[in-house]
Amino acid sequence: MPIEYSDVTFTYLNYEKPAVSNIKLKIQEGTLTAIIGKLGAGKSTLLRMMNGLVPNQFPGNMTGKVLVDGVDTQTVEVPEIAKTLNMVFDDPVLQIVALTVFDDVMFGPANLGLPREEILKRVSEALATTRLTGYESRNPRTLSGGEQQLLAMAGVLAMRPKYLVLDEPLAMLDPLGKKQVLGAVRKLHEDTGLAVVIAESGTDIEPLVEFVDWAVILDEGRIVAEGKPKELFSDNVMVKKAGLRVPQVTQLAYNLGNSKNTSVPVTLDEGVDFVKKLVASPSSSKKEYVEEAQPDSGSTEKVVSISNLWHTYPGPPPVDALQGINLEINRGEMVALLGQNGSGKTTLSFHLVGALKPTNKDASVMVAGLDVVNTPQFDIIQHVNYVFQNPANQLFNETFEKEVKYGPERLGLPPEEIERRAKDSLAKVGLGHLWEQSTFDIPKSLETLLGLASVLSLDPEVLIIDEPTGGLDLETGQRVMDTLCELNRNKKTILIITHDMALASRYAKRVVVLHKGKILMDGPTHEVFAQPDILAKTMLEPPQITKLAQKLMDVGYPDDILTVDEFVHFFSTMK
Amino acid sequence: MSLFAYQDLKTPIHQLNALTKWSILIVLTLLAGFILDPRYKIPLGIIIIVYALVAKLKFRIYRGLILLVLFSLLLANLISVFFIVNANMFKVYDKVWAATTVFQITNASFPIFGRMALTYGGILWLLQGSLTGVFVVILLAAHIQSTSLNETVQLLSAIKAPFPVIYITMVALRFTPELAAQFTLVHRAQTLRGWRVNTRNPIKIVRLYMPLLFPVVRYVIKSIDITTMSTQNRAFGLGPVTNVTASKLSTVDKALTIFIWVVFAVMMVLILKFNVGNL
């Protein structure tokens, strides 16, 4: 029996607008389904209805019914539904309840009251499926982001659910980590007929459309379309209206003039076929090449200069997070810092802002002319600063105004300068009109923009930003990147830490790839992404459009195309 | 390595049954509280330290916390200690010696409490109060390091503890190390926005810590929310939990558990009836 929503509307307690409205949906057994929608579209609410968290845990007004295998989820407790349906949330750290891998995986089956031998068998199988065998006694905190996500999945797989529900499971993973997770789920689906439902806000749309066979698009709490991904993405107008990201090969088709309701490619292989067919029909391309907004520094003044930087975290066992890093960055550069989870990106960035000190004596870290190793951190922050991936770590004031004034006030600036900087920084991120807005219960998009503004008001020469568009919808992500580009045009040096290869290739002229605490690659973006074999060593891969060009090298495409617009340009020249 | 986190090691303490380890924790904590005389409390402390060493507790990472607890308790006890001037408060030590003034605070006599001075008895009281805190921290750290969360959950389930007790225990054990890590992260984030302690005024210091506390509190709320959802989603609370890892009580466990409770009973008789360990 399927999961069935019969005309469901739900409004959270103390809210006026329904989170989801008039949902009519059937998810069949043994299928792979994606629920796609931008932030706030209602995806998590829809998912949480499946296991009864809504409305049992999150009270509100609900009309209609959600049936899972014929059971009304409103009439039973959540642990009862867990016998059939299990969910993995977007943040693996918080759902790993035990302190060793083994203990965590056996937590669910033990709660089901299964015999000891059966539990041990299931744990062993779940670990094997998620390739975590051998990790049994490890503390989950010592695992990489990808491994933690796999562990969260192993924990529910050991319960042998009929339905597996994943809420943004790929958000924190490096590119090959995403493939690892989806590969493990696909294997289970093929081996056991497990039905899988995945919610996705768009950043990871490319691996997702290659994975699912059915997709549901949500916008403002309503289902606006459902069908095979290829059919859905062919409706360019609907996709744009719902504010969704699309795979780069689909965007390519749009840019090459694909009109509504014409079939578009959604996977890499389909992209290859699509381009090859177009080459055979010369009249298809009408678009002109448009230069991407990637500012070129042109400066040779070193604003960051690191020499022989080591950092060892004390054990047991001790971990050499950075191993003799040497790096120079010129003023006005926009550099992407890439690497898999645990490669040392964050440790390196913390050294640039003086939040960590080298563990070797002969290291040197110079930023904006300051010897960061020997300068008090307070004296560094107006020269170099850091925007955290999770802005909630930075925000605490009651209003936007107070939040952006906090930094300049700590610096002891004159009141009129504090006012000017605060207003400027909010205006830069497009929030000037929210001067008096409360910071309580604001959406993630506003939180991110405010977090950025609160650092911009310190006016640092070098800005480090961790996953600038992570978890954001298309529009907010674009606003963040526009702000960074504007800063960069004004000679600010920007260092972006990211797993989003399309973002790095579009905005950074140079990328630095870290691997196991060492710089594996450092050079112009197009040169680095032209070496997929070396990138794969560190769980990275070029963006989809670059991979497309690399697959088309036999028909004359270069292997270092970085953006959709570049591809269109080359396509035009080839005609 | 985090503070108050379980470490999967193969020490003799780790091998014990959760019931035995909880018995040791409870009995030693109670004794640390009931025994006041430093002449008895220090040997008890040595037993606790040996226990922690056998559990391979890394004292190095707890050094800061132990010092913080020690000084906090010294400060917190200081005021009350100045009122321990009445010779009749002492049952074991020589009353005259115990009430001898080392340092007179004021000659004024306060209602109920009497005069205010530092006496030899007061110093003993201060010492024992501070040592109690330190010993409990060490004991707790050794216990958490050697007792996995699942062992505890299964033990509580086996003794049919109410569900809220099991849940609260689990969340507390799971998130204590997490909170320490989150506090470090928030501290880093706020320091980058210019946060620093530049005053010695305790009220101002408390206000200065607000930027650190708000994000941490928000994290705690979010964590509990998600943990509640994910544990329910993994059938926590459905019914009896299978005991997978906690081995049955071995002979050593049985002997040790009985021994520790017998010691407790004997010590309580000695303390209550014969004033052993009193001041």
What's the rounded Cα separation, in Å, for the pair A35 and A165? 10
Cβ pair B232:A79 closer than 8 A = yes
Q: Taking all residues of chain B, what is their mean pLDDT, rounded to a whole number?
A: 84
Neighbours of A27 (CB within 10 A): 20
Phi, psi of B190 (to 5 degrees): -75, -35
Q: Does B80 touch chain A (CB under 8 A)?
A: no
Residue A284 Cα to chain centre, angstroms: 34
pLDDT value at position B196? 82
For residue A567, is pLDDT > 80? yes
Whether A536 and chain B come into contact, CB under 8 Å, resolves to no
Q: Which of A56, A97, A164 to mutate to test the interface with B (most CBs of B within 10 A)?
A: A97
Neighbouring C-beta atoms of residue A286, cutoff 10 Å: 10
Higher-scoring residue by pLDDT: B279, A9 = A9
pTM: 0.76
The reply to whether residue B241 touches residue A388, judged by beta carbons under 8 angstroms, is: no
DSSP string, A474-518: HHHHHHHHHHHHHHHHTT-EEEEE-S-HHHHHHH-SEEEEEETTE
Q: Which residues of chain B are within 8 Å of residue A79 when distances are taken between CB atoms?
A: 232, 235-238
Render pLDDT for B189-227 as a digit per residue (tens, 0 to 9): 888 888 887 777 767 777 777 778 888 888 888 888 888
Burial grade of B99 (CB within 10 A; 0-12, 13-18, 19 or more): buried
Which tokens go with B213?
A: 């506390």
Chain B: give the shortest CA distance to residue A412, in Å: 10
Cβ–Cβ below 8 Å for B7 and A139: yes
Interfacial B residues in 14-73 facing A (CB < 8 Å): 58
A214-219 and A222-227 strand pairing: antiparallel
d(CA B219, CA B242): 31
CB-based burial label for B91 (10 Å; 0-12, 13-18, 19+)? exposed
Strand A493-497 and strand A334-338: the pairing is parallel
pLDDT for residue A298? 64
Mean pLDDT lowest for which of A71-80, A318-327, B236-245?
Answer: B236-245
Give the chain A residue whose CA is nearest to the CA of B230: A95
Q: How far, in whole angstroms, is CA A466 from its chain's centroid? A: 11
Dihedral sign computed on CA atoms, order A474, A480, A481, A486: positive
CA distance A479 to chain B (A): 23
Give A104-137 pLDDT, tens digit per residue. Answer: 999 999 899 899 999 999 999 899 888 889 888 7
**Within 13 Å, how many C-alpha atoms sit on residue A150's CB side?**
28
pLDDT bin (cut points 50, 70, 90) of residue A297 is: low
Residue type, B232: Q
Q: Is A51 on the interface with B (CB under 8 A)?
A: yes
A296 pLDDT band (50/70/90 cuts)? low
The answer to whether the Cβ–Cβ distance between A407 and B193 falls below 8 Å is yes
Distance CA A477, CA A479 (A): 5
Q: Taking CB atoms and an 8 Å limit, are A109 and B242 in contact across chains?
A: yes
Say which residue the tokens 């303490």 belong to. B13
Yes or no, beta carbons of B235 and A87 under 8 Å apart: no
pLDDT digits (tens, 9 = 90+) for A346-379: 899 999 999 999 999 899 999 999 999 999 888 9
Provide the b/e sequence for A156-192 (b: ≥16 CB within 10 Å): bbbbbbbbbbbbbbbbbbbbbbbbbbbebbbebbeee
**Interface-testing mutation among B1, B60, B175, B232, with chain A (most A C-beta atoms within 10 A):** B232
Given a cut of 60, is residue A286 above it in pLDDT? no
- Report, as an integer, the average pLDDT of B108-121: 77
Question: With a CB-CB cutoff of 8 Å, which residues 497-526 of chain A face chain B?
Answer: none
Span A279-307, average pLDDT: 61
Token digits of residue A158: 């050991």
SS (H, E, C) A281-337: CCCCCCCCCCCCCCCCCCCCCEEEEEEEEEEEECCCCCEEEEEEEEEEEECCCEEEE
Mean pLDDT for the stretch of residues B106-131: 81
Q: What is the mean pLDDT of residues A194-211?
A: 89
Residues 180-239 of B with CB under 8 A from A: 181, 185-186, 188-196, 210-211, 214-215, 218-219, 222-223, 226-239
Query: Smallest Cβ distance to B193: which of A78, A159, A406?
Result: A406
Touching B: A residues 81-120, CB under 8 Å: 82-83, 86-87, 89, 91, 93-95, 97-100, 102-103, 106-116, 119-120
Q: Do B149 and A99 touch (CB under 8 A)?
A: yes
Q: Rounded to whole angstroms, how far apart are CA atoms A466 and A470?
A: 9
Measure the CA–CA gap between B89 and B93, rounded to whole angstroms.
Answer: 10
A vs B, Cβ pairs < 8 A, gives 180
Distance CA A409, CA A222 (A): 45
Residue B2: what pLDDT? Answer: 67
